[in-house]
Amino acid sequence: MLKDTRHLFLVGRGSSLAAVGTGALIVKEADHFHAEGMSSAAFRHGPFEMLSDETFVFVFAGEPKTRELNQRLFEDIREERGRAELISEEAGFPPCNLPSAPRSIHPVLEILPMQMVTLALAAQVGREPGRFELASKVTTKE
């Protein structure tokens, strides 16, 4: 799924912004692979132009009140032959399928697919995921 990806975007709205930001950070930490987390609206008005075989977008379905907007973005990416997966309780791709749970813990569950992504990206390049070379898992100095 992520083969030949050079540009990785994680996009969402509302409480999903925590997961897209954290997800991008852990991909960079664990895999030394550039990823960018941003709002769905910002993606649509900028990096949408970057859609190509080298770009992959994870769209976080998110909260019910904005889910339709995120679903539409996902469909628009696919319509332009972009590479994308939707992270939701009804995801078509099993690793992006979230378990049914109370809305209060949904932002925590959304990070799980991104943790699996770090394993897949590391395997593609023969890295040990999460192995720090220049820093440590705990910041000891500013």
Instruction: Using the predicted structure, report yes or no on whether residue 140 has a pLDDT greater than 80.
Output: no
Q: How far from 39 is each of 48, 60, 72, 125, 135, CA to CA, in Å?
A: 12, 10, 14, 29, 28
pTM for the model stands at 0.91
Burial 95-126 (b: 16+ CB within 10 A, else e): ebebeeeeeeebbebbbbbbeebbeebbeeee
Q: Look at the domain 7-125 and name its fold.
A: Rossmann fold (3.40.50)
**Radius of gyration, alpha carbons of the chain:** 15
Delimit the domains of the chain by residue range: 7-125
Strand 83-87, strand 35-39: pairing: unpaired
Q: What is the pLDDT of residue 137?
A: 65
Tell me the pLDDT band of 125, cut-offs 50, 70 and 90: confident
